[in-house]
Amino acid sequence: MVDQSALEFIYDPAVYERAAPVDALLALQPQRVIWVDEHTLPSWPGGSGFWLVLDHALCGEVLKASKQFSSSLKGTQLRDPASAEDLHYVQQMMLNMDPPDHTRLRRLMISAFTGRAIKALNQQIEAHAAELVDNMIAGHRSGECDFVSDLAADMPLRCLADIFGLPSQDRYLMYDWANRVIGYQDPDYASSSRHDLASGSAIARQALALQPQPDSNGQLPDPRSRAGMPDLYRYAHLLAEQKRHTPGDDVMSLLLAAIDDDGAQLTNEEFENMFWLFSVAGNETLRNGLPGGMLALLQHPNSWQQLRAEPALLPSAVNEMLRWWTPVMNFRRTARDHYRLGDAEIRAGDKVVVSFLAANRDPAVFAAANQFDITRSDNPHLSFGYGPHYCIGAQLAVAQMQALFGELTRRLSSVELAGDVRYLRSNFQRGIKSLPIRWRC
Ligand code: HEM
């Protein structure tokens, strides 16, 4: 009989604030798939329970079998949507869709990321990395800063502003919105106001007039519902209208002009949902992935020196950082029918959660899986998922990491930890809230 209280660490967000329980998960890995009850905890509402898939091959099997394992039935988060209305809301995002709706949006999206658009984005990414490191060095004469707030947080915002063709100063809106969503699990992020109303665009001012206000108990509406993000939706709506009227050469203008197989275009509502998804998926993942990669280098100073000496290792080093850290720790599916997965008999309607954190350390796939090795050449990590929902932004995420770590290792001769690391309270995103560093040029 399994002691289910000993498995609470898997879904208790408070545990992750101390550090992700990698060793405890790996101790369970030989079982490949386990059933986990979901108890009510101070920071978890409880739930139906779920199958946790710990094995690399079985995670791949679930993610590929999208007919049997649905992204849409109950969404893709470990936590169930709180109401039928909230479920309906998340089902509007391609992340939480099944074919054919998903296929249509994905095709449209991919057609907008043309070779020319990607080339332009890559050039902009290189320029952002150089400017961010310049600012870091010039702005902190002491040679110390917080890698998260002073550097990492801005990189994905700049890149998203390029993708959307936004006025650069409006990028902090996406920072504040992503924080509102994450603040749902970690109160440190719940209120964020980095956006400067005065320097923002006219559409930003119009959108922010709809910013949600706390109720009489000081409670804001759930940011995972449409009512929790009226300002984001207003902004996205106004942006779509502006881009339809005066298209730019950015990816989102291309997306709005793209035509699907039936000769139809993306609706404004579809664009608004895409805007939400990108603002969170393309933002928070890197705000965590970049510091995760940095922490790996801080813990392995020889790798830092090796990377400085051999910049050609950058691609394999970044891949290894993504495996080692695993910025998104899991995703959820719901079984449509009975399915035998390994030795587990999964019933229709069961929640199935794939653990990228465990799969990325599977010794059956990765030699010396618990070693950080920037020369690792065979590295089929699952950090960007697998199958039909494989991350659309993977190439851009890798480009951002390569540009930033390339610039840092070129410019700084050494770097070390200068204080305590603070982790995010989340069982979904493996986040770092603060990473104090000290460097020498
Ligand atoms: C290190 C950074 C990133 C990580 C670790 C990451 C991880 C993931 C994962 C695991 C999935 C699969 C979800 C599933 O199977 O249900 C996914 C999907 C997605 N990602 Fe990323 N992501 C990153 C960066 C980005 C960026 C930069 C963008 C946009 C610019 C982006 C946009 C998306 C979108 C739109 C999807 C949904 C794809 C679909 O449903 O077909 N991601 N991401």
pLDDT, one tens digit per residue, over 291-308 is 999 999 999 999 999 999
Q: Is the pLDDT of residue 342 over 70?
A: yes
Ligand 1 atom with the shortest distance to the CA of 386: 15
- Contact, 316 vs 374, CB < 8 A? yes
Ligand 1 atom with the shortest distance to the CA of 63: 15
Whether 383 lines ligand 1, by a CB cut-off of 6 Å, is yes
Using CA atoms, how far apart are residues 154 and 15, in angstroms rounded to an integer? Answer: 27
Dihedral sign computed on CA atoms, order 75, 64, 426, 179: negative
Testing ligand 1's pocket by substitution, the residue of 285, 355, 357, 402 carrying the most ligand atoms inside 8 A of its CB is: 285
User: pLDDT of 81-137, one tens digit each?
Assistant: 888 988 998 899 999 999 999 999 999 999 998 888 899 999 999 999 999 999 999
Using CA atoms, how far apart are residues 191 and 73, in angstroms rounded to an integer? Answer: 31
Q: Ligand 1: distance of its center to the CA of 83 in Å?
A: 25
Testing ligand 1's pocket by substitution, the residue of 252, 330, 384 carrying the most ligand atoms inside 8 A of its CB is: 384
Query: What are the tokens at 134?
Result: 């310049």
List Cβ neighbours of 141 (8 Å cut-off, separation of 6 or more).
none
Using CA atoms, how far apart are residues 186 and 226, in angstroms rounded to an integer? Answer: 20
Give the predicted TM-score (pTM) of the model.
0.95
User: pLDDT of 382-406, one tens digit each?
Assistant: 999 999 999 999 999 999 999 999 9
For 27, counting Cβ atoms within 10 Å of its Cβ (0-12 exposed, 13-18 middle, 19+ buried), the class is exposed
Please tell me the chain's helix, strand, coil percentages from 3-state DSSP, rounded to the nearest 5. Answer: 50, 10, 35
Confidence of residue 191 (pLDDT cuts 50, 70, 90): low
CA distances (Å), origin 264, targets 80, 260, 276: 33, 5, 22
Q: Ligand 1: distance of its center to the CA of 385 in Å?
A: 8
Amino acid at 228: G
Ligand 1 atom with the shortest distance to the CA of 97: 40
Q: Ligand 1: distance of its center to the CA of 178 in Å?
A: 15
Whether 393 lines ligand 1, by a CB cut-off of 6 Å, is yes
Using CA atoms, how far apart are residues 283 and 288, in angstroms rounded to an integer? Answer: 9
